[in-house]
Amino acid sequence: MTTPARPYRSALYIPGSNARALEKAKVLACDAILFDLEDAVAADEKINARTMLAAAIGQGGYGARAKIVRVNGFDTAWGREDVAAFAGLPVDGILLPKVNSATDLDALAALIPDAALWAMMETPLAMLNAAEIAEHPRLAGMVMGTNDLAKELNSRFRPDRLALQSSLQTCLLAARAHGVIAIDGVYNAFKDTDGLQFECEQGRDLGFDGKSLIHPAQLAVTNAAFAPSTEELDLARRQIEAFEAAKKDGLGVAVVDGKIVENLHIVTAQALLAKAEVIATMEG
């Protein structure tokens, strides 16, 4: 498993057709922006949104935020031209909706040789093919499309997301097996802070790198939930210190707070500290 230091705690959807939102996104405290040309844009605005978004990204100003463009699917009249519009522009990824297999990513890769690929995981077939999708050599990350997935599964809404657990964990396993980013799905009730907090904690406990969001009001809760806590950072530093002392004594393990600390714990501790440093730099 590899966990890059660059944080993806919060990935905020921004409509590509909304000039005010595109400008505001330059100062929002999100780790990634999911510029959306798909669900958030009406059919008669698709072409204008593409042009507006390409111009905005070309002008820059989004700082260290990861810039990921969700294009329309290739089963629409806009998908392929969407991809072509961002070839050569400074984007950090192209996000393809409803990826069902690695073949879908092959089609995307052929259209844009210079950008990382991202996959929306939102269909039953995607869940069954999660491992082969994650293994694609150009894939950088997966974003859970929990609304579409719940619809396809015909599942009922439950606060604990019981019906989605196997799908969430399947995609997370695939992502971790192949070293790609895994971002949890959206929480629809953007004014429900308690519900968002619960879902963020659940996603973080499962192992997701962050959560996709539909409103800036969700940023503070999400960033805090997916950032290393003060207690986690303190433990990481003490684990590293104790392990280094143990090595000097010729030992392969240490004990911290009554628990064994091995090299695998040190790898995790170092990654946690590295991520905290990057977050501090971004927020500074």
Per-residue model confidence as pLDDT tens digits over 18-44: 999 999 999 999 999 999 999 999 999
pLDDT band at 284 (very low <50, low <70, confident <90, very high): low
- Taking only the tens place, the pLDDT of each residue in 199-211 is 999 999 999 999 9
Mean pLDDT to the nearest integer, 232-252: 95
From the CB of residue 203, how many other CB atoms can be counted at a distance below 10 Å?
A: 25
Residue written as tokens 């505001």? 24
Mean pLDDT to the nearest integer, 44-61: 98
Please report, for the chain, the start and end positions of each structural domain, with discontinuous segments joined by +: 10-226, 230-283
Helix H segments across 154-261? 165-178, 193-206, 219-226, 230-248
- CATH of 10-226, picked from 3.20.20.60, 3.40.50.1970, 3.40.50.10800, 1.25.60.10, is 3.20.20.60
Mean pLDDT to the nearest integer, 148-177: 97
Average pLDDT over the chain, rounded to an integer: 96
Q: CA angle, corner 168, sides to 163 and 169, nearest 5? A: 110
- The C-alpha atoms of residue 162 and residue 202 are separated, in whole angstroms, by 11
Position 4 pLDDT exceeds 90: no
The residues that bridge with 68 in the sheet, in sequence order, are 34, 93
